[in-house]
Amino acid sequence: MVASAGVTSMTTLANLRLPGFFLATLLFVTGVAAVPPVDLDLFKGSGREFLLCFDLREAEHPVRTGVLLNPKTTTSTNWQHIALPFLTKSCEPVHELFLTWGSYEKCTVLSALMLPGAGSERGFGLLPDVQLVPEGGFVVDDLLPGVYLQKSRQERYFVFVNWNDSAPGRGRPISLGSLALKEFDALAIATPPGAKGREIRNNSSAIPRPLLQTGRVRVFAGTNYPPHLERVELAYTVAPTELQKLIFKNGLKLLGVLLAPLLTLLFLPAKGMARPKWRMPLVVVLALVQLTVIVWVAITATQLGSDSVIEQTIDWAVVVIGTVFSAFVVFAKEKN
């Protein structure tokens, strides 16, 4: 039987006293609110009966999933059962579909009531249990069915592994054998704004080749279309955030500004200063601030793309060269 987060919560509430009622209600509402909204309008219009969507555009929840069902092809009222090859943390409630869902050991099972001629596409969002893959690479062929994401600075590598009933240990759970499951006939992936494709192998940033691409959305053939979709790989580089750009740009400016008084204090002899005893403490303080800013900028630089780093570094180099020569002028005057 398909489990339901809402039904389970209501059954629990019926057996609890008043304090437990409020606690369970809070947990239920929190679970529902934990599903970030998925912009399914971005994926609509494909004409598919069952479109499985992956939204990679949000930084806080880097992978969100959506399901779009097209009731125009439904000729009679019926329950449609869906099984997805990954675990799910939470699901968006859709009352008009009488949606129920459950997350089990190796899969997520959903049931929705489809009415004939119900109008436009209907959908709902899921928050999948994404397996984060550490840096250093991994063998894609060894991955079990699920959703995977590797993050390395600005680089992203997304992998969806589907069931493969012909491979040992990679097929659907045996308990689903008696359930008439609806297979997704297309899979769509939306990448973040400003993202650029990154080669995986054979000069391709997406494997297999998408059926079509509209803006940031790529559409791949689903399980219903031969050959059977076993895996989708997508590699891309995200654009730096405004905060990262601000830190790097202003950090370089700060380095240039602090370099002038530091070099002046180093080159200026003690006899030329009104308070010579302040010289070394000021040099130490400025040097420590410079070192802190350098580390700060260096960490941010590793997270940025090479184009941004080169452009800002050139601007910073111009400031530094001008500052150094100005300090040399001070030093030369003092010697004369």
Q: How far apart, in whole angstroms, are the C-alpha atoms of residue 289 and residue 213?
A: 49
Are residues 261 and 309 part of one domain? yes
Q: What is the largest CA-CA distance in the chain?
A: 99
**b (16+ CB within 10 A) / e for 192-224:** beebeeeebeeeebbbeebeeeeebbbbbbbbe
DSSP classification of residue 59: S
pLDDT surpassing 90 at residue 335: no
Q: Which of 95, 92, 98, 93 is nearest to 78 (CA)?
A: 98
Instruction: Tell me: do 180 and 275 sit in the same domain.
Output: no
**For residue 88, what is the domain's CATH number?**
2.60.40
Asked which of 211, 237, 263 is the last residue of a domain, the reply is 237
- How does pLDDT run across 222-262, given as a tens digit for each residue? 776 666 788 999 999 887 766 766 766 777 777 777 777 77
| Position 194 pLDDT exceeds 80 | yes
Tell me: do 148 and 286 sit in the same domain.
Answer: no
What pLDDT band is residue 303 in, cutting at 50, 70 and 90? low
Q: Does residue 192 share a domain with residue 171?
A: yes
Q: Please tell me whether residues 57 and 1 are part of one structural domain.
A: no
Question: pLDDT digit string (tens) for 125-178?
Answer: 999 999 988 877 678 888 899 999 998 878 899 999 998 878 888 888 887 877
Average pLDDT over residues 308-313: 57
Q: pLDDT over 70 for what percent of the chain?
A: 67
254 and 213 assigned to the same domain: no
State whether 291 and 152 are in the same domain: no
Q: Are residues 253 and 298 in the same domain?
A: yes
Q: Which of residues 73 and 70 earns the better pLDDT score?
A: 70
Confidence class for position 94, pLDDT limits 50, 70, 90: confident
Query: What is the domain extent for residue 258?
Result: 242-335
The residue from 194, 219, 237 where one domain ends is 237
Give the residue from 206, 237, 268 where a domain finishes: 237
Identify which of 27-41, 136-150, 276-290 has the greatest average pLDDT.
136-150
- My answer on whether 179 and 246 are in the same domain is no
Do residue 202 and residue 264 come from a single domain? no
Q: Are 316 and 256 in contact (CB under 8 A)?
A: yes
Indicate whether 334 pLDDT > 80: no
Percent of the chain with pLDDT over 90: 17
Same domain membership, residue 293 and residue 193: no
- How many domains does the chain divide into? 3
